[in-house]
Amino acid sequence: MSLVKKTLKELSTAFQNGEITSREITEAFIKEIEARDAELNVFVTTTFDLARESADASDSRFKNNSLLSPLDGMPVTLKDVVCTAGIRTTASSNMLKDFVPPYNATVWQKLKDAGAVLLGKVNTDEFTMGVSTETSAFGVTKNPIDPTKVSGGSSGGSAAAVAANFCAASIGTDTGGSIRQPAHFCGCTGIKVSYGRVSRWGTMPMASSLDSVGCLAKTAEDCAMMLEVIAGKDPKDSTTPEVAVPKYTESLDQPLKGLKIGIPQEYFIEGIDDEIVSVVDSTKAILENLGAKVVEVSLPHTKYGIAAYYIIAPSEISANLSRFDGIRYGSAAEGSNLEEIYTKTREQGFGDEVKRRILIGTYALSAGYYDAYYRKAQKVRTLVKQDFDNAFEEVDALLAPIFPSTAFEVGRAPDPLRDYIEDVLTIPANLAGICGVAVPVGKSKTGLPIGVQFLCEAFAEDRALNIAHQIEQSLS
Amino acid sequence: MLSQDEVRHIAKLSKINLSDSEVERLSPQLSSILDYFEVLQEVNTDGVKETSQVTGLESVTRPDVIIASDIEEALIKCTPHQVEDNSVKIPKIM
């Protein structure tokens, strides 16, 4: 099998057994990227020279018996909202098209300290706001399975990088489905971690109470390897609680016998593709075969999640993105006074979707509207969270579809409200702060990947990965 | 329905300059999104507490230890403006 098609686990094992060098692995991925990225547009910035240097350092460590971790020498990519010292980090926005951060995000620092090799920064919707990477200032990332389709969003670059065999794993972020939806579109596995499980420090914020940093890879086992390195308390992110990081790779083989898994009835919304529903059905059959009990559950406030989210998230966005004022960093427009610099910088630097969300958030937080919108949304958020709390008293995990359709075509007619409503199946998990794994299970008649998500209570990533791994093993 | 004047007002609060054509385009889009939010009125939230965060952590502190940062100069160099005496030079405010 060609090197680049191997899983992270397989590459790591081969490297640590001395069967192959990190430099050989790295060159194989670079060759793949050079052959196909012009077509797919996955990378915003490549860092091949640095990657070769890091790979050589990993190879030296192998010779000296001083490997740092199972990720040592393994080529990865980062969504371009993860700050990398000395390497351009753009958020796929004109606002930051030339921004070079002076420090590393915690998630990259941890990977770097573990010996991972950085191949580059990959595309995202602008400031992670979108469902297709089409809001990126650098153009859409096409789906490697069918380049007439989008790779999804906002972590479309990460999902495409994994699916196109451009890297062994990629860091993404999930604020309302941005890891799970592209994983579903591109046919890879992705983990949305519990809120606070992975440090957000140095990862550009969208909505601070909802943002989570996770990863995408070929398998749940690969995600488990990554998560063991990136999870944990960070003194620089006070929302990371003191919860021990389990050995995720060691609980993957636990049998599912006796596990109770719920299917939320409200997730089979009007208009959902039959093919998506039948993949959930076939996943249910696999689970039952493995000895799990599958039952129906109800999450009655599901449909209100979208409205609550699209008030809360833009409100937080309007506050978070006020830092982009053209003064301290990023692009600046010409202006004769300070006010003009602010307003013109933000006019020219931000794209349409970012402006829409800042405007909605500003409106929702403005005097006279705060109670009707923001406060109401925060209360509905409580009800959405309670739905999950109640469900997890009955079941160990939830099985659900991720998106109402398979990957849609590049250049679909814009309709912001439709895009928001389509997030209905991923948003509730973020409002509740729970974790979930997206895992590819089936294909449409046209050959497009279809994934499902397993949602578990906060800090039960080990269980979600265990279930996903067992499903993958049954399918292989 | 958000009027174009209301959109201009929100844009002003957001410190985003919008052209007339942008205002024209955004006004119906924002209106349809705000209309959609009305669905929340169906939900009875009497006596429901607000959720502003999900970790349950409160007043997180850390040891009051000074850690030297060696990136002061690099941070200031990120500005697109002129730097003088380790300060960013901007146009007059008043």
Query: What's A329-368 look like in SS3?
Result: CCCCCCCCCHHHHHHHHHHHHCCHHHHHHHHHHHHHHCCC
The SS3 call for residue A147 is coil
Which of the following is catalytic: A6, A9, A79, A110? A79
- Interchain pair A102, B71: CB under 8 A: yes
pLDDT-derived band at B69 (thresholds 50, 70, 90) equals confident
A55 falls within a domain: yes
* CATH label of the domain that carries residue A190: 3.90.1300.10
Q: Is A344 on the interface with B (CB under 8 A)?
A: yes
Q: B85 vs chain A: nearest CA distance in angstroms?
A: 15
For the question of whether the overall pTM of this predicted structure is more than 0.90, the answer is yes
pLDDT in tens, A300-318: 999 999 999 999 999 999 9
> Do the beta carbons of residue A123 and residue A138 sit within 8 Å?
yes
For residue B21, with 0-12 CB atoms within 10 Å meaning exposed, 13-18 middle and 19 or more buried, which class applies?
Answer: exposed
Is A154 labeled as catalytic in the residue annotation?
Answer: yes
Which of the following is catalytic: A22, A151, A154, A315? A154
What are the beta bridge partners of residue A76? A118, A169
- Mean per-residue pLDDT, A385-412: 98
For chain B, the straight-line distance linking the first and the last C-alpha, in angstroms and rounded, comes to 37
d(CA A455, CA A436): 4
Is A79 labeled as catalytic in the residue annotation?
Answer: yes
A362 falls within a domain: no
B/e letters for A311-339, b = 16+ CB within 10 Å, e = fewer, are bbbbbbbbbbbeebbbbebbbbbebeebe
Q: Which domains, and CATH codes, for chain B?
A: 4-42 (1.10.20)
- Interchain pair A338, B91: CB under 8 A: yes
Calculate the average pLDDT of chain B. Answer: 93
Is A344 labeled as catalytic in the residue annotation?
Answer: no
Closest CB from A241, A331, A385 relative to B80:
A331
A138 falls within a domain: yes
Contacts of A300 in chain B (CB under 8 A): none
pLDDT in tens, A344-384: 999 999 999 999 999 999 999 998 899 999 999 999 999 99
Q: Which of B18, B33, B76, B93 to mutate to test the interface with A (most CBs of A within 10 A)?
A: B33
What's the structural domain count of chain A? 1
- Interchain pair B33, A417: CB under 8 A: yes
What is the 8-class DSSP label of residue A412?
P
A263 falls within a domain: no
pLDDT-derived band at A1 (thresholds 50, 70, 90) equals confident
pLDDT in tens, A70-89: 999 999 999 999 999 999 99
A387 falls within a domain: no
What is the 8-class DSSP label of residue A141?
P
